Amino acid sequence: MAQVPQTFFDALAVRTWCGLALEALGRAREEIDAINVYPVADGDTGTNLYLTVESAAAAVDAVFIGHEAGSEGSAPSLADAVRAMAHGALIGARGNSGTILAQLLRGMAQVLAADGDTAHADAGGLRLALRHAADSARQAVAHPVEGTVLTVASAAADAAIGAEGDCKAVARAAYEGARAALAATPHQLAVLERAGVVDAGGQGLVTVLAALVETFTGEKPVVTASHARVPVDSPGECVSLEEGGPAFEVIYLLEAEDAAVTRLRERLDTLGDSLVVVGGEGLWNVHVHVDDAGAAVEAGVEAGRPYRIRITHFGVGDVHTTGGERPPRERAQRAVVAVVPGPGLAGLYTEAGATTVLARPGEPPASGELVEAVRRAHAREIVLLPNDAELRHTAAAAAEQARAEGIRVALIPTRSAVQGIAALAVHEPERRFDEDVVSMTSAAGATRYAEVALAERQSWTMAGICQAGDVLGLIDGDVAVIGADVTATAETVLDRMLAAGGELVTLVLGDEAPDGIAGHLEARVRESYLAVDTVVYRGGRQGALLLIGVE
């Protein structure tokens, strides 16, 4: 659904920007990962930026949900929204670029939340916010290097300060300034020029600023060669870890006083490089590359209370955790991890041997939840079933994280829980991994899916204009039928699906489905379609009234 352009930078604009930035980074994640050669060629900058923004967006959503629950019709202030955005980015920041992005968002928040009573910021406020963001990010890096995301951020701020007009003009100027600076990064940093790529972190920031332009204009800026990957034969083969570079990346959140953090910066600066410390008001995110990971953590202990400690060994791909843990139990060879929309299906999937993540109505899981489920499955090979088209980027980011931990992951792009059921039905752990994935993918792809739900508001659809309360029949994700009666609409949807043939109909009933609808549809199939079987499951509270699958 198209976004409504924002005139001022208010709380809704913050929420819209975070959502659009997350979608854009989801689309660009693999491309950004592929050009990641500085400061370490570990191919995860796009993923780290995605996870950082995902945490920021979730924090902003939580503020809106809290206000809606507390007072009907209320909305958070701009200060509430930007503080949540900054805090979410801080606690969710990953990697060097993600940590810097968190500080950029924090810098913006410090300006935009300065007057807590202001409902929105105008162009002048946005200019100052972008300027302070770039300056504070540069100060957070122990040894700033030109040709990186810091250069791109400074260029964006310079262009914004010189822009005349409204927020739309300022956002567009910042984006254009960032694009131009990004295109010049290979000429500023030798490792980029040798690899024939632009800076990956800078590419990510340009993507985020493009989402800001879309927030104010409703249009995606056209991607041109000025900020695309510089064409070379095989950049990934041109770059290797610099000889003598630090062996570990250490990241942790830290509760500490300002004075202790100043001493910590000095200590970590002697231990390694790529030092970035962001945050304030007692909570900090610490990122550094070192040879002695233990010393970096000990320095944090001396400064305050470090937690969420992540230690990555470069070049090996294994992620270590601290603490005196018992030897891990033996991993299974293969497992399935699936997102399911209701407790009823969660039980069905669990009985079939899958590890499940429950997606509550209106609360899609974050990639961190999927990664935790992958870890909980404790297998060398994982088949991941997102069961929702909107989760494709989230699932892809989770798969990338799991692969970095040495787990082999295959993502099957299931768009509905009924496609996941079909895939799970042909799953055979004894087969070769590739053969099993192909079989499951084929079964999912051969299953058409539909759902019957109630419209929440007036909207334009492929079948015409619907009103709040209308019954919608969606086939393969598009509204195909608008009706007044749930059972009649479901029957129409089922007839349209079976017109193209089928052997098995799967019906998943939600808690709000009318009594007798399953029996009515079973009878319809039995009487009108020869040799077609029907199976019925109870999905529980799953959002949709009814899910339908036809294989």
The tens digit of pLDDT for each residue in 306-359 reads: 888 887 776 544 333 333 333 445 778 899 999 998 778 888 888 888 998 888
Question: For domain 248-320, which CATH number applies: 3.30.70, 1.10.10, 2.40.30, 1.20.120?
Answer: 3.30.70
Instruction: Report whether 365 contacts 391 (CB < 8 A).
Output: yes
* pLDDT at residue 197 greater than cutoff 80: yes
pTM of the model: 0.69
* pLDDT at residue 237 greater than cutoff 60: no
What would the two tokens of residue 242 be? 């610099």
**How many residues make up the chain in this entry?**
551
pLDDT of 16: 94
Instruction: Report whether 388 contacts 359 (CB < 8 A).
Output: yes
* pLDDT at residue 42 greater than cutoff 60: yes
Closest CA to 126 of 151, 173, 160: 160
Cα 214 to Cα 174: distance, rounded to the nearest angstrom: 13
Mean pLDDT of 235-263: 72
Q: Residue 32, Cα to own-chain centre: how many angstroms? A: 14
What would the two tokens of residue 407 be? 């787990």
pLDDT of 291: 86
pLDDT digits (tens, 9 = 90+) for 203-214: 999 999 999 999
The strand pairing partners of 120, in sequence order, are 10
pLDDT digits (tens, 9 = 90+) for 277-287: 999 889 999 99
* pLDDT at residue 387 greater than cutoff 90: yes
For residue 318, count CB atoms less than 10 angstroms from its CB and return exposed for 0-12, middle for 13-18, buried for 19 or more: exposed
Cα 512 to Cα 455: distance, rounded to the nearest angstrom: 14
Closest CA to 20 of 175, 149, 228: 175
Sign of CA dihedral 423, 426, 428, 434: negative
**Other C-beta atoms lying within 10 Å of the C-beta of residue 457:** 8
pLDDT of 404: 84
For residue 125, count CB atoms less than 10 angstroms from its CB and return exposed for 0-12, middle for 13-18, buried for 19 or more: buried
pLDDT digits (tens, 9 = 90+) for 45-94: 998 999 999 999 999 998 988 776 665 557 789 999 999 999 999 999 98
Which fold would CATH assign to domain 9-233? 1.25.40
pLDDT of 117: 67
225 vs 488: which has the higher pLDDT: 488
Instruction: Report whether 285 contacts 278 (CB < 8 A).
Output: yes
Express as a percent the part of the chain with pLDDT over 70: 89
296 vs 2: which has the higher pLDDT: 296
Phi-psi region of 303 (alpha: psi -120 to 50; beta: other; left: phi over 0): alpha
Query: In CATH terms, are 248-320 and 448-550 the same topology?
Result: no
Instruction: Report whether 440 contacts 383 (CB < 8 A).
Output: yes
pLDDT of 211: 96
pLDDT of 228: 43
Confidence label for 269 from pLDDT (cuts 50, 70 and 90): very high
Q: Comparing 237-246, 308-317, 398-407, 450-459, which segment has the lowest mean pLDDT?
A: 237-246
pLDDT of 266: 93
Closest CA to 39 of 182, 150, 184, 174: 150
pLDDT of 243: 45
pLDDT digits (tens, 9 = 90+) for 535-548: 999 888 777 899 99
Degrees, nearest 5: CA angle 532-535-539: 145
* pLDDT at residue 492 greater than cutoff 50: yes
Q: 332-445: CATH homologous superfamily? A: Phosphotransferase system, mannose-type IIA component (3.40.50.510)
Q: Comparing 230-239, 253-262, 479-488, which segment has the lowest mean pLDDT?
A: 230-239
Closest CA to 392 of 5, 50, 12, 7: 50
Radius of gyration of the chain from Cα atoms? 25
310 vs 169: which has the higher pLDDT: 169
pLDDT of 386: 94
pLDDT of 322: 38
Domain boundaries of the chain, sorted by first residue: 9-233, 248-320, 332-445, 448-550
Cα 268 to Cα 374: distance, rounded to the nearest angstrom: 33
We find that the CATH architecture of domain 448-550 is 2-Layer Sandwich (3.30)
pLDDT of 311: 75
Instruction: Report whether 38 contacts 189 (CB < 8 A).
Output: yes
Instruction: Report whether 385 contacts 370 (CB < 8 A).
Output: no
Express as a percent the part of the chain with pLDDT over 90: 57
Mean pLDDT rounded to a whole number for the chain: 86
Mean pLDDT of 132-150: 94
* pLDDT at residue 526 greater than cutoff 70: yes
Cα 203 to Cα 210: distance, rounded to the nearest angstrom: 11
Instruction: Report whether 421 contacts 348 (CB < 8 A).
Output: yes
